[in-house]
Chain A
């Protein structure tokens, strides 16, 4: 019996891009993420992690199994989700602030209110920028920002409509190690302050262990969950925690599972 009470629930989901019969991207995938939880999904390349993103946001629909978000079966795009990817995909003809306002020009009820309440929304966007350390950069064009700053702006764009669910698809993969760790802390704080549910898809096991409450390990294609592990490190975590033996132990255990999944 499918349990749809979790905030994000994928129950026995199978999906193939060419429809039933073609190669499966995910097969019998079951993942449950609770409200306010930070979940990380790790696995070998091509294990269907991006498919998971599309299924949970209602961009694709499975041919078998059920996807539900916030207690409702997903049959159309999930507007309470925000998304960020490896590429910041900011629009170069808009300033950073205007890029942040883009989702509000699309999603209801903001779409109808934006023009009349422009000042409120601009203030909201500026506050959000300030919260990720981009205060005062709203007037800059994206290409005037560094890669890490662009990614911060991309995160803000994902959060501007105050989604209850944040979907992150390898958002830090293209950044250098120091910038990446800075952004881990940005995400950690956003999650702590907003109580938002986060699903992070990543290749980076340290990233997954540092950020997540629970890590799901996926198999090679067709993807399904091999195991899940609760990360019992106390919060708030700081980067020093990543050098403790306990942290390393968890990372090693996950790594072994992925190595086995690749075989």
Chain B
């Protein structure tokens, strides 16, 4: 029992180390040139050499992503509730939203630059635009899947729509909402980095673009690793938040707690 849980707990670290070790070995074994694929040791060296730049730009990207994500949470939650509230609004907005979601957000960045100039604002807005959709859909789904029998029980007692929403709909939608945050935060990084790559002079996306221009291949990869670390940390935060807020939906874990 404990042996299993220990190996399960160690597995993520072991697998990560194994991946980097395999990578390092492959680079040396097949004599892959560093400007094509640098080994992890060279990337680590780039982290040391360029730490101030990586640190500053990572923080910037984290900031724009978090801000865009926060906007997406607020807006997505509100829109999801509105869509879940009314069948008419749902029918009217759904095709529009699907159409909007189908637009590659990279195509929106030039327009944002036109309106707001380059830098933080388009990055925040791109992160927001790309990440609100899953939140809206999930909240609306949570509301739409209220059991009709339960709705009947409450309606027969004279429950208003607001009552049903408060007592059943919103608590029911919460696991969907918190689940969607994990998807949304990952997408928010995609949005901010796209925008920084095209239209910014700060941020990890911009750092990588400059590194590419100067042929600093290990630094490009260092940027990728920095993004991956930020992505994992934020995802983990959302997962912890989800587990704390909606423990009842994860029964086995809850029963242990």
Contact = CB atoms under 8 A, between A and B. Distances in A.
Interface string B142-169: 0000010110111111110001000110
Contacts of A93: 171, 246, 248-249
Contact of A107 (B158, B246, B248, B251): B158
Interface stretch (A31-39, A79-87, A179-187): A79-87
A161 interface: yes
B149 to A, nearest CB: 4
A87 B171 CA distance: 19
Contact of A77 (B156, B168, B249, B255): B156
A81 B152 CA distance: 11
A78 B156 contact: yes
Given A57-B152, A59-B152, A102-B167, A92 B157 contact: no
B9 to A, nearest CB: 27
B153 A158 contact: yes
Contacts of A83: 149, 152-153, 156
Nearest to B153: A83
Contact of B156 (A81, A89, A91, A157): A81
Interface residues of A, number: 30
A3 interface: no
30 contacts: A53-B152, A54-B152, A57-B156, A58-B156, A59-B155, A59-B156, A77-B155, A79-B156, A83-B152, A83-B156, A85-B149, A85-B152, A87-B149, A89-B149, A89-B150, A91-B150, A91-B167, A91-B168, A91-B171, A92-B249, A93-B171, A93-B248, A93-B249, A102-B154, A103-B153, A105-B167, A106-B154, A108-B158, A141-B248, A157-B153
A79 B153 contact: no
The 9 tightest CB contacts between A and B, nearest first, are: A89-B150, A107-B157, A85-B149, A93-B248, A57-B156, A106-B157, A106-B159, A77-B156, A89-B147
A53 to B, nearest CB: 8
Contacts of A107: 157-158
Nearest to A104: B157
A85 B149 CA distance: 7
Contacts of B155: 59, 77
Interface centre among B152, B167, B246, B249 (most CB of A within 10 A): B152
Given A85-B149, A87-B147, A91-B168, A106 B158 contact: yes
Contacts of A103: 153-154, 157
Contact of A106 (B149, B167, B251, B255): B167
A161 B171 CA distance: 23
A128 to B, nearest CB: 16
Contact of A79 (B158, B163, B167, B172): B158
Nearest to A161: B157
A169 B152 CA distance: 12
Contacts of B150: 89, 91
Contacts of B167: 91, 102, 105-106
Interface string B216-257: 000000000000000000000000000000101101000100
Nearest to B251: A143
A3 to B, nearest CB: 24
A177 B77 CA distance: 45
B236 to A, nearest CB: 24
B229 to A, nearest CB: 34
B140 to A, nearest CB: 19
A54 B152 CA distance: 8
A153 to B, nearest CB: 13
Contacts of B149: 83, 85, 87, 89, 169
Contacts of B163: 105-106
A32 B237 CA distance: 60
Interface string B102-134: 000000000000000000000000000000000
Interface string A65-96: 00000000000111101010101010111000
A76 B160 CA distance: 12
Contacts of B153: 83, 85, 89, 103, 157-158
Contacts of B157: 77, 79, 103, 106-107, 161
Contacts of B172: 91
Contacts of A143: 251
Interface centre among B147, B149, B246, B249 (most CB of A within 10 A): B149
A79 B251 CA distance: 34
Nearest to B255: A144
A239 to B, nearest CB: 28
B178 to A, nearest CB: 13
